[in-house]
A = this chain, B = another copy of it.
Amino acid sequence: MRLAQEGDLAMLLGRGRRRAIFKLKAGKSYHTHHGIIEHAELIGARWGSIVETHLGTPFILLEPSLHDLLLHIRRKSQIIFPKDIGYILLQLSVGPGKRVLEAGTGSGALTTALAWMVGESGEVISYDRRADMHELARRNLSRLGLEGRVTFRLRDLSEGLIDRDVDAIFLDLPRPEASLAHVAQALTNGGVLGCILPTANQVSTLLEAMEAQGFGAIEVVEILLRGYKPVSERLRPFDRMVAHTGYLLFARLLEGALPE
């Protein structure tokens, strides 16, 4: 029987898909539109049990999954969504002990997933030119105890990357083509470059630059997530869905090109 303990991240899940994630600390209380829950009542409670506000409104007490954490990260900018992050992890061969680089940091959703997956023995290097973004990402990471796995570099990519022989690099930048030459210097030969871009025009521009800079084996995909109402006798897709987050590109740094 696993119990919620002080310092754990807890998720309260109410009706109508309401949810909140916070760190348990004796003496604090969580305020909902339907009443207050004292952290002291949650500490020692069983994960998966039903708890109630002082007004009697029930919530499910859960440990947030990585998916929950990524979706509810504190943000100042558009985050990369879990549907995209999961696929990026596989394309970039992220895993325990790996060393991966990303730019820009943004609110740190991808940073969080990368840091989670590389483990204690891995390293995430995260470039951003905005200190406030690093600060936000650092706070998001520290909630999960992951900040020690991330090396932040406060630096615009136009100044070049100071890292070398990186296995995989991911760019969430408006104009990644401008940094491709620098990226090619930091990436190991044969290494993977991933990018996310919202518009088709950016994809076209990047594709052209990738080929000019020696990248090949290029893939362009969109990942779409279609949610269903989880009701046994009335199974159907939700009325609305997120129709677009971004186009994903993946390429390899080549030492030559396939002749046409």
Q: Identify the A interface with B (CB < 8 A).
A: 1-2, 13-15, 46-50, 58-63, 65-67, 70, 82-83, 85-97, 113, 116-121, 165, 188-192, 198-201, 203-205, 207-208, 211, 216-244, 247, 249, 252-259
Contact = CB atoms under 8 A, between A and B. Distances in A.
B190 A223 contact: no
B257 A50 contact: yes
Contacts of A47: 188-191, 255
Contacts of A61: 190
Main secondary structure of the interface of A (DSSP, over half): mixed
- Copies of this chain per assembly: 4
Given A95-B117, A257-B50, A223 B83 contact: yes
B224 A220 contact: no
A204 B247 CA distance: 16
Contacts of A97: 119
Contacts of A226: 221-222, 224, 243
B239 A241 contact: no
Nearest to A71: B90
A227 B236 contact: no
Nearest to A228: B220
Given A60-B216, A95-B116, A228-B247, A255 B87 contact: no
B254 A49 contact: yes
Contacts of A208: 232-233
A111 B231 CA distance: 30
B258 A60 contact: yes
A258 B16 CA distance: 11
A255 B201 CA distance: 29
Contact of A95 (B48, B119, B219, B225): B119
Given A189-B46, A226-B221, A200 B242 contact: no
A58 B259 contact: yes
10 contacts: A47-B190, A48-B256, A66-B95, A67-B93, A83-B87, A87-B87, A200-B236, A220-B229, A223-B224, A241-B243
